[in-house]
Amino acid sequence: MTSRRSMLLTMVAGVLAMGHLPAPAAARRADPIRMYDTDKDGTLDLAEVKTAASALFAKLDRDHDGTLDKRELAGRLTAGELAAADPDHDGTLTQDEYIAVVEQRFNAADPDKDGTLDRKELNSKAGQALLHLLR
Ligand SMILES: [Ca+2]
Ligand SMILES: [Ca+2]
Ligand SMILES: [Ca+2]
């Protein structure tokens, strides 16, 4: 009885530990460079970012009509950002329109204009704004 109880406690402790990963491990798991850096040079270039954005676009487009509406965007763009990114004002974004926003944010997040985003650039406010459109 006692050993069963302690086994159960060990299991519970294990589950709790899994739910409370130390911050560095959690950060590593969600590291955007590890996730999207397909050429493994330690930075994200525009092609890698566009690939990630296209994959997310396909995932978000639940009704498969080739556009994202406000509901499908699920808060990724504010009403104002959506209106600015939607030149024909039909309230939806095509993949090209979505990628155009991604490209603007990429450039905003790359102040040294070397065409790649390193960890520091991705951690900036502009970098975080870009990452919202990738995941
Ligand atoms: Ca890269
Ligand atoms: Ca759609
Ligand atoms: Ca850069």
pLDDT in tens, 26-51: 555 589 999 999 999 999 999 999 99
pLDDT in tens, 95-121: 999 999 999 999 999 999 999 999 999
Can you give the pLDDT at residue 30?
80
pLDDT exceeds 60 at position 22 = no
Please tell me the total number of residues recorded for the chain in this structure.
135
Query: pTM above the 0.75 mark?
Result: yes
Considering every ligand atom shown, identify the ligand nearest to the alpha carbon of residue 109 and give its number.
Answer: 3
Q: Which band of pLDDT confidence, cut at 50, 70 and 90, is reported for residue 122? A: very high
Residues 117, 49 contacting (CB under 8 angstroms):
yes
> Letter for the amino acid at 100?
A
How far does residue 31's CA lie from ligand 3's centre (Å)? Answer: 17
How far does residue 114's CA lie from ligand 3's centre (Å)? Answer: 5
Considering every ligand atom shown, identify the ligand nearest to the alpha carbon of residue 45 and give its number.
Answer: 1
* Spatial CB neighbours of 76, under 8 Å, sequence gap ≥ 6: 132, 133
